[in-house]
């Protein structure tokens, strides 16, 4: 099945700079997709530290188990990724498949197996064709090239499944005179929900920092980026975010979260992750609207997030947005079902800049025409003020259309 590119896609893939010492190769094992790459190998230099965040699914894939274990070292030398098969729910045979592919990489690069990270994305419950995969993976070390615009495009393309466009982002951070580069690639378009989904994201920087600082920054960043997006409320077995910091910038290493250079690094990391997260929503299966949902005056930020996600995940809200129907009653419904404290009689709701409701009922002078006009745009905003406290949160989602049904009723065909 070949899908048209999402109408919400960026105009083009960004020109992503090299990250010194990071080398890229892609290949085609033909696991599921024909006439395209479905394998990615990335080599990082000695001394690279690695941080990670993973799905909270209680049925994680074999590669997720493998990466979680490896992460205790806080260091790594390589990443191998395949698309088309998630190697999830594949039992002991699945674990052995990871070890086998990892061995192929480790002997090809001359590194130890625990230094090799792996991610797989695609159909759940089918065994990886290990021999076919290994035959192709074995060719990749000789094909490695320095990272740069062309390499990043190829890498972002190889990890796609139902994605209709490749996803990349970059930012720089001034670390007291040394300019750090951060580059990320990601994939994901369905089975997307907080705590991530069939979402893979790999981020690289040349900054030198400790494993603890890297893990702390990444964990916080995930909370406000990947964990704030939802396409269909479904959570995958395979979600993986890995951050590789090579240290090749040779800055004085950042060893404490209180280092004055941390805010700049954090801001750049968050910018890359939020950009990638938004691109995933923009590629939401069947999406025609990019939707920002903000909840204010909740009991806490967490309560605000729960309410915002109840709105963002509501099929009735999402179908109304698809129809450009300013049916704000469905937003009231979603606030009511979220299970968090809200004052019905103080509740206010906006669609774009048009306030629909205030004080528990329709606002006198509310213009449905103005709200509808806003909903005709490809990017729409909803806000609910629930009138009980200071908590606020913003989440991003897309609408629910016939396209979603088409894609998901046909995915395995």
Q: Pick the stretch among 22-30, 169-177, 339-347, 374-382 that binds a copy of itself (CB under 8 A).
A: 339-347
Report the site for a copy of itself in 350-389 (rule: CB under 8 A): 356-357, 359-362
**Of 159, 160, 119, residue with least CA distance to 3:** 160
CA distances from 368 to 5, 57, 323 (A): 32, 41, 14
Q: Are 342 and 391 in contact (CB under 8 A)?
A: no
3-state secondary structure of 327: coil
Q: Could you say which of 25, 50, 53, 88 contacts a copy of itself (CB under 8 A)?
A: 88
Contact at 8 Å (CB) between 256 and 268? Answer: no
Question: Counting Cβ atoms within 10 Å, is residue 347 exposed (0-12), middle (13-18) or buried (19+)?
Answer: buried
- Part of the chain binding a copy of itself (CB under 8 A), chosen from 199-207, 208-216, 250-258, 404-412: 404-412
Q: Across 86-198, where does the E strand assignment appear?
A: 116-123, 145-146, 167-175, 178-187
* Shortest distance in whole angstroms from residue 211 CB to a copy of itself: 28
33 is an interface residue for a copy of itself by CB under 8 A: no
Would you count residue 327 as binding a copy of itself (CB under 8 A)?
Answer: yes
Least separation in angstroms between residue 230's CB and a copy of itself is 11
From residue 69, how far is each of 45, 54, 62, 115 by CA, in Å?
Answer: 21, 12, 11, 11
Does 98 bind a copy of itself (CB under 8 A)? Our answer is: no
Applying the rule CB under 8 A, the residues between 239 and 298 that interact with a copy of itself are none
**Cα–Cα distance between 386 and 398 in angstroms, integer?**
22
Q: How far is the CB of 409 from a copy of itself (least distance, A)?
A: 4
Site for a copy of itself in 162-201 (CB under 8 A): 190-191, 193, 195
Sole window of 142-150, 204-212, 294-302, 311-319 interacting with a copy of itself (rule: CB under 8 A): 311-319
Among 110, 345, 365, 376, binds a copy of itself (CB under 8 A): 345
Across the strands, what pairs with 118?
80
Determine whether 198 is an active site residue: yes
Give the H or E element holding residue 356: strand 354-358
Catalytic-labelled residue, pool 198, 240, 288, 296 = 198
Piece of 92-100, 245-253, 298-306, 372-380 that binds a copy of itself (CB under 8 A): 92-100
User: How far apart are CB 341 and a copy of itself at their closest, in Å?
Assistant: 7
Catalytic machinery residues:
198
């Amino acid at each position: 099945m070949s899908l048209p590119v999402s109408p919400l896609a960026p105009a083009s893939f960004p020109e992503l700079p090299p990250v010194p010492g990071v080398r890229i190769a892609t290949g085609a094992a033909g696991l599921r997709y024909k006439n395209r790459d479905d394998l990615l190998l990335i080599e990082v230099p000695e001394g690279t530290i690695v941080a990670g965040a993973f799905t909270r699914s209680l049925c994680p894939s074999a590669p997720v188990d493998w990466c979680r274990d490896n992460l205790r070292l806080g260091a790594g030398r390589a990443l191998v990724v395949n698309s088309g098969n998630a190697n999830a729910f594949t039992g002991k045979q699945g674990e052995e498949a990871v070890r086998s592919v990892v061995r192929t990489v480790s002997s090809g690069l001359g590194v130890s197996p625990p230094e090799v990270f792996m991610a797989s994305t695609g159909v759940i419950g089918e065994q990886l064709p290990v021999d076919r995969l290994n035959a192709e993976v074995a060719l990749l070390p000789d094909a490695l090239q320095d990272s740069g615009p062309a390499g990043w495009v190829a890498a972002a393309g190889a990890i796609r499944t139902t994605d209709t466009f490749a996803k990349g982002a970059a930012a720089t951070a001034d670390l007291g005179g040394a300019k750090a580069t951060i580059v990320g690639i990601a994939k994901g378009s369905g089975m997307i929900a907080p705590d991530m989904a069939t979402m893979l994201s790999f981020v690289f920087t040349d900054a030198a920092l400790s494993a603890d600082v890297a893990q702390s920054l990444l964990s916080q960043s995930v909370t406000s980026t990947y964990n704030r997006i939802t396409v269909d409320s479904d959570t995958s077995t395979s979600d993986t975010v890995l951050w590789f910091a090579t240290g090749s910038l040779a800055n004085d290493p950042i060893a404490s979260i209180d280092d004055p250079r941390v805010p700049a690094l954090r801001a750049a990391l968050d910018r890359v992750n939020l950009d990638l997260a938004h691109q995933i929503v923009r590629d939401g299966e069947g999406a025609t609207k990019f939707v920002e949902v903000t909840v204010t005056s909740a009991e806490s930020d967490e309560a605000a997030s729960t309410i915002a996600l109840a709105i963002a995940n509501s099929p009735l809200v999402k179908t109304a947005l698809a129809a450009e129907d300013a049916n704000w009653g469905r937003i009231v419904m979603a606030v009511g079902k979220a299970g968090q404290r809200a004052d019905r009689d103080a509740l206010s709701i906006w669609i774009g800049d048009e306030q629909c409701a205030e004080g528990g009922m329709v606002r006198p002078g509310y213009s449905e025409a103005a709200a509808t006009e806003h909903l005709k745009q490809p990017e729409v905003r909803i806000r609910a003020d629930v009138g009980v406290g200071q908590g606020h949160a913003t989440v991003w989602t897309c609408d629910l259309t016939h396209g979603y049904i088409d894609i998901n009723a046909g995915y395995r065909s």
